[in-house]
Amino acid sequence: VVHLVESGGGSVQAGGSLRLSCAASGAILSTYDMAWFRQAPGKEREGVAGARANGLRNFAESVKGRFTLSKDNANLYLQMNSLKPEDTAMYYCAADREVKNWWQLSPRDYNYWGQGTQVTVSS
C-alpha cells in the first residue's frame, strides 16, 4: 500500500517561503519515483518537480531557481522560495515505480497520490 500525506501548505505573501512535506514509508521514498504537482482552480494539474529514485531531479521552468527538493527517510520536501501569486494552487505529492518519462512531469504517469495541501500566495 502506497500512502502519501502532504502537509505544510498555508497562506503567505509574495516573496515568502513555504516548505511542503510528503510523508511516506522509507521503502517508497527510496525505491519509487516521486513528484510534486499543483492544480489551480480551472486549470489542469501541472508538474512542479520530480525526484527519481536514483537521485535525479527535475523542475518545471516556472519554478527553477526558486524551488528545491530534498528527502530524508520519512519525507520528500519541496522548499518553495520567492513565492509568487501564480504559485497559488493545491499541491499534490505523487509516486510510482520507474516512471518511464519521469522528466516530463506528467500526472498521467503516476498512480499514487496524496490528498493535497493548499498554498495561497497574496500580492
Average pLDDT of the residues of the chain: 96
Coil/strand/helix, residue 58: strand
Local structure of 31: helix, strand or coil: helix
Q: Contact 25/118 with Cβ under 8 angstroms? A: no
What pLDDT score does 1 carry?
Answer: 86
Q: Residue 5's pLDDT is what?
A: 98
Coil vs helix vs strand at 112: strand
Q: Tell me the pLDDT tens digit for each residue of 7-44.
A: 999 999 999 999 999 999 999 999 999 999 999 999 99
Q: Residue 63: which pLDDT band, with cuts at 50, 70 and 90?
A: very high
Q: Please state the rounded mean pLDDT for residues 82-88.
A: 98
